[in-house]
Amino acid sequence: MPAASKRPQNLTSLGRMQQRERERKIKELKKRAGRKLLLTNMSQRLWDDCLEHKACVRSNMAHNMLKLYWAVPKTIMSGEIDNISKFCELSWYD
pLDDT of 27 reads 93
What's the pLDDT band for 9 if we cut at 50, 70, 90?
low
Dist CA 83 CA 10 (whole Å): 40
* Spatial contact of 91 and 40, defined as CB atoms under 8 Å apart: yes
Task: Tell me the domain boundaries of the chain.
Answer: 12-89
Can you give the pTM of this predicted structure? 0.62
pLDDT (tens digit per residue) in 57-68: 887 777 666 666
